[in-house]
Amino acid sequence: MFYKQILRMGGKLFLGNNLTLVLLATCALLTLFFVNGAKQFLPTCDSISYDDRYLRDANGEWILSADGIVIRTPCKNSIPFAQGILGLKVLAGYIPLIFCAYYLINDKKQLLFLGRLLVVIAIICCGLALIQFWMFKTGRCQGTDHLAGELLFKPTIKARCLVGGSALYSPSQGQIRMPGTFVSPWHWGWFLVANAAICFSVAFSDSAFFWRNCGLFGMAMVFINAVICGQRLALALVQLSKNNPPVTYDL
């Protein structure tokens, strides 16, 4: 009975907000065909000879990026289009979750509880990430600074420290990408992006003084982690969230 109610609610939400879902599906399909589809026509990395692995100019010299790194010849290691289909499947899996969240939060009290819970989780995860950075900084975890070549610029699971997964810690090269409590720096970056908005909403919209301070503390933790973990996107969005007008919820 409960599942039938969820499906019925989902159908109403789909019919009422089909424009949003159509736009989302359109962007996802455009990415699938024009990004993943274009990569599908690249040669496999194994088929490229050693001399052709890096781009060269008309004089036969290697082409360097702005950071002084040799640019590799574009190639594929797997099946990009199949990876895009898998990503589309994962994205579609979030749609039932959106339906549940939309209808299971019945009043402002439940909304405030959810915001407070997410702020606590964000503070705990950011605290563990700070400990992770301290362990890298003090040498308790080796990182990737002792490696050579392109391994200095790639996250690896062998550099895992305390929590999380693949890490990149090469301060001698100016490369720090820490995973926090997630499996990779990419996932950790989006976690910080999401919690920049969540902590902001709690800091300026919660009815309790204590939780507003917790929200401000969470924003500070997200900001610090965005700096030390090398997450520039999250750092930019923390600043953008401060420009949004707050909405106050009173119980």
Percent of the chain residues past pLDDT 70, beyond the cut: 81
Q: Categorize the per-residue pLDDT at 248 as very low, low, confident or very high, splitting at 50, 70 and 90.
A: very low
Reply yes or no on whether the pLDDT at 249 is more than 50.
no
Distance CA 195, CA 234 (A): 9
Residue 58 lies in a domain: no
Residue 188, H or E segment: helix 185-205
pLDDT for residue 11: 54
Predicted TM-score (pTM) of the model is: 0.64
Reply yes or no on whether the pLDDT at 124 is more than 70.
yes
Same domain, 162 and 239: yes
Phi first, then psi: what are they for 54, rounded to 5°?
-125, 145
Burial 19-50 (b: 16+ CB within 10 A, else e): eeeeeeeeeeeeebeeebeebeeeeeeeebee
Residue 243 lies in a domain: yes
| Residue keyed to tokens 């736009």 | 23
Reply yes or no on whether the pLDDT at 128 is more than 50.
yes
Same domain, 146 and 250: yes
Per-residue pLDDT tens over the stretch 134-151: 999 998 988 888 888 778
Q: Which residues pair with 44 in a beta bridge?
A: 76
Residue 72 lies in a domain: no
Same domain, 28 and 117: no
pLDDT for residue 247: 41
| 201, 204, 207, 210 alpha-carbon torsion, rounded to 10° | 100
Same domain, 165 and 228: yes
> Angle of helix 18-31 relative to helix 80-104, nearest 10 degrees?
160
Q: Categorize the per-residue pLDDT at 233 as very low, low, confident or very high, splitting at 50, 70 and 90.
A: low
Same domain, 115 and 93: no
How many domains does the chain divide into?
Answer: 2
Reply yes or no on whether the pLDDT at 129 is more than 70.
yes
Residue 54 lies in a domain: no
Reply yes or no on whether the pLDDT at 238 is more than 60.
no
Residue type for position 215:
G
Residue 7 lies in a domain: yes
Instruction: Calculate mean pLDDT across residues 177-194.
Output: 87
Return the higher-pLDDT residue of 249 and 65: 65
**End-of-domain residue from the set 86, 104, 122:** 104
Instruction: Calculate mean pLDDT across residues 55-81.
Output: 80
pLDDT for residue 237: 56
Average pLDDT, the chain: 80
Residue 191 lies in a domain: yes
Return the higher-pLDDT residue of 65 and 220: 220
Residue 164 lies in a domain: yes
Residue 117 sits in which domain range? 107-251
Same domain, 122 and 142: yes
**End-of-domain residue from the set 88, 104, 120:** 104
Instruction: Calculate mean pLDDT across residues 29-58.
Output: 83
Reply yes or no on whether the pLDDT at 241 is more than 60.
no
Q: Are 167 and 185 in contact (CB under 8 A)?
A: yes
